[in-house]
Structure 1
């Protein structure tokens, strides 16, 4: 995972290259229906709120990735952040 204040730039660039990062916490967890009974105010859980605002991207790293694939991801990520 990486934190980036403007997720669209690295997300779009990596997706264009077929590296497909995902947005971590695309919807603030306390606003999801499953948490409705547990949270009265969506801003209540400060850690979830902070993670949602910091825009986390999950990077595609798998055990089957070759070193060349990981190297490419690193190069491309550095170029766009």
Structure 2
């Protein structure tokens, strides 16, 4: 499984003020007080393999198209006898 995520953030703070001049006219001012920029990315690859031993019974493969190595299933139908010496 492959995963990817990206994020991009931009931020700014603006200060707005007003003053009056000598004639009494109001003057509005604005100023950027701070700004920020951030970028983040994440990539990941994950793989899992499940192995099983079946004593007896039948095996049904649900997702045959995406199942790996279907022809390499080991069928050891003769039980092995361990020799104790």
Q: Shared fold (TM-score greater than 0.5)?
A: no
* TM-score relative to the length of structure 1: 0.23
Which has the bigger relative contact order, CA under 8 A and spacing at least 6?
1
* TM-score relative to the length of structure 2: 0.22
Higher strand residue share: 2
The structure with the largest alpha-carbon Rg is: 2
Higher helix residue share: 1
